[in-house]
Amino acid sequence: MAIKKFPLNNIRLEGSIELSGDKSISIRTILLSAWAHGISNLKNLGTGEDVKTALSAIRKLKINTRGNRDFLTIFGGGFGYDKLKSISLNMGNSGTCTRLIAGQLACSPIFSKLYGDKSLSQRPLRIKEVLENFNCNLKARKNNFLPLIIKGNSDAIQSNIKINKPSAQIISSAIFCAINSYGASEISAPNNSRDHTEKLLKFLKYPIIVKYQKKLKRIIIQGKKKINPISNYRIPSDPSSAAFLIVLAILTEKSNLTIKNVLCNKHRIKYINILKKMGAKIKIFNAKQYYGEKVCDINVKSSKLRSIRISPNDIPAIIDELPILFIAATFAKGSTFFPNLSELKIKESNRLQTMYENLKKCGVNCILKTNTLSINGKNKNFYSVDVPEIDSKKDHRIALSFLVLAAATRKKIIINDFSFVNISFPEIEQIIKKLKVKPNKVIVAIDGKVSSGKTSICKSLQKKYKGKAFFFDSGTLYRRLSLLHLRKKFKKINVGFLVKQSKKIKIADLSNKNLHSNEVSKLVPEIAKIKEVRSALLDIQRKIIFESKSDIVLVAGRDIGSKILPNNFSDLKLFIDAPIKIRALRRFKELKHKFPSKKLVFKNILAEIKARDKVDSKRKISPLIKVKSAHLISNHTKYISTPVMKIIKLIKKVS
């Protein structure tokens, strides 16, 4: 079991790239080239295991090939004409290859057995009855599952059949069987299914006619006709693989990514229309017709997403992209609703249940009902110190989707069976590293005891970075609430009032001089230990931090590294400390400067500092601690430049 720890921290994508060829078209061109009368040349084939399965299958069927995925020559001739009588083929995890090659073998002179891995063997084939209409002989486990035994019939006859499911694989299986059957066959099927097979055959001038009606399409195929070879076809970039990079670019600040020569068949890019409705900045340009398919370049930029209700009619066209759309919906404002998801239960895994369970593990608000899923953003558990272990169920699209979630958010996760991404997109990590540029911003989590000099150090750093750094003192939030509470003159602490006021706090409220009065300082420890108040301020603090546009974000407080920005949610963790008498003296001088008319006693300030240290370290909720990954910064001298320069070196190292 291959386990992968993520994230690739602090991602920003920039540049342009062409991806490996579309998996669906790669498999179709390989299988049709094997049947063609002549020599076919294919370029940029898909890199995934499913494509390798198709190549392995035709080679076992005695079809000669030369070259590799970059440039592959296939010497066509059909199956079974070299006196091959029987064959056993391992289909791995490829449902596409299984169904399509079954259509070919059913009308060949070969006795064949198709078997696959555990995942594929648990998925219903739904082709046995379809192919039996052509007078073919098939036997499947429980009539619908692998292994599939095919007693080939090279005298298969034409058929008129109706396919109710909008499945391109089932339709293509029937088309492949019709091609090698006597007479003209007619297939009626939903017109919202993918049509790569029909388009490719039309381009190759095979006698196929497709008539579109309101909800159905009628496909008429002449059997036993010549299949022309495929000459110098460069397979366009896979739009399903592109979906993971597109969503990653949308979710990461300042990303600007162009993916070139993407297959833009309308049945394959419906997910782009969905993302656009959610507010994604996506531009499709440089459109051209290529081997019967529309091919375009796609540019995507960082975007803020909003929730939508997906139409039930759109689901068949986005069935493969639903897992990554669930991830996108996690970051949309509001609740996104996905209906009509029954088909998602019979993919490589029960993707609906598996995605739901893993999203919940990560701290995502989602509700699963019968064949529907609602997703409404992240909850406090998303930022937990716990590292969720994602069970991918050996499903490549689930593993890829949670890679995107981790990379887009800095969230630390573990993905079990990550190696199964090799089925469709083995090079995703290398591509991200290639497109990754300098970090969007460096987030520095700074904890430390009261009056250890956090504020002075951060303000000095701001000056050094000349406007490129933003300083946020989380303690000012508690001071703001303390000040508001004092103004109301409550006899005892009013938790309801504090929670209500916490939702109204604005950045401009945090620069009031009175926030640092002695009265406020005395009340802050009491308010800071209230569970409801700390919980209410969590989202506000993270919103301020993550939405900052500055290159460097300095966040100071007493639970920043342990609670607000645990694990990888910050790039650098610091703990600033100094002897207690030095801290008390600093506090004394600070208050004397701000309130010169007030009579202050050093011993009282020292006692208050000791009491505050005790409260901060002993409180049950978010106590002040130095996390293991934090660098200890001593600020005991009168020269603040010493710790400042040390921190600058650390920031440079992480950026």
Q: Label each residue of 137-198 as H, E or C.
A: EEEEECCCEEEEEEECCCCCECCEEECCCCCHHHHHHHHHHHHCCECEEEEEEECCCCCHHH
- What does the pLDDT look like over 279-310, one tens digit per residue? 999 999 999 999 999 999 999 999 999 999 99
Q: In this predicted structure, what is the pLDDT of residue 578? A: 94
Question: Does the pLDDT of residue 7 top 80, yes or no?
Answer: no
Q: How many residues does the chain have?
A: 655
- What pTM does this model have? 0.88
For residue 420, the 8-state DSSP code is G
* 164, 133 Cβ separation under 8 angstroms: no
Q: Strand 14-18 relative to strand 256-263: parallel, antiparallel, unpaired?
A: parallel
Give residue 82's pLDDT: 65
Residue 351 has pLDDT above 70, yes or no: yes
Higher pLDDT, 499 or 655: 499
Q: What is the side-by-side order of every strand in the sheet holding 413-416? A: 3-6, 413-416, 389-391
Kindly give, in sequence order, each residue whose CB lies less than 8 Å from that of residue 339, ignoring residues fewer than 6 positions away: 309, 310, 311, 312, 315, 371, 372
pLDDT attached to residue 597: 82
Q: Which of 167-176, 203-212, 602-611 has the lowest mean pLDDT?
A: 602-611
Residues 333 and 337: their CA atoms lie apart, in Å, by: 12
Question: For the segment 38-63, what is each residue's pLDDT rounded down to a tens digit?
Answer: 999 999 999 999 999 999 999 999 99
Task: Tally the C-alpha atoms within 13 A of residue 236's C-alpha that lie toward its C-beta.
Answer: 24
Beta carbons within 10 angstroms of residue 311's beta carbon: 11
Show the domains of the chain with their CATH numbers. Answer: 3-18+237-435 (3.65.10.10), 30-234 (3.65.10.10), 442-654 (3.40.50.300)
The residue among 584 and 598 whose pLDDT is bigger is 584
The answer on pLDDT for 9 being more than 70 is no
pLDDT at 649 over 70: yes
Among residues 366, 262, 349, the alpha carbon closest in space to that of 16 is found at 262
Average confidence (pLDDT) over 127-145: 97
pLDDT at 380: 80
Any idea which of 85-99, 129-143, 580-594 has the lowest mean pLDDT? 580-594
Tokens of 86: 């029987």
Q: CB-based contacts of 516: which residues, under 8 Å, 6+ apart?
A: 479, 590, 591, 594
Written as six digits, the tokens of 634 are 């001593």
**C-alpha distances in angstroms, 400 versus 304, 394, 496?**
22, 11, 43
Q: Return the ∠ at Cα 100 (arms to 94 and 104), rounded to 5°.
A: 135
For residue 552, pLDDT beyond 90:
yes
- Contact status, residue 399 vs residue 2, Cβ threshold 8 Å: no
Provide, rounded to the nearest whole percent, the portion of the chain with pLDDT above 70: 98
Per-residue pLDDT at 595 = 82
Given a contact cutoff of 8 angstroms between Cβ atoms, the answer to whether 493 and 448 are in contact is: no
What's the CA gap between 339 and 312, in Å, rounded?
Answer: 6
In this prediction, residue 1 carries a pLDDT of: 45
Over 80: is that where the pLDDT of 385 sits? no
Residues 382-397 have a mean pLDDT of: 91
Residue 8 has a pLDDT of: 57
432-454 average pLDDT score: 89
Distance, CA of 177 to CA of 185 (rounded, Å): 10
Closest C-alpha among 342, 339, 358, 436 to residue 397:
358
Write down the pLDDT at residue 19: 98
- Residues designated catalytic: 320
Q: Where are the beta strands (DSSP E) in 455-500?
A: 469-473
Please give the average per-residue pLDDT across 523-552, as a whole number: 90
* Average of per-residue pLDDT values in the chain: 94
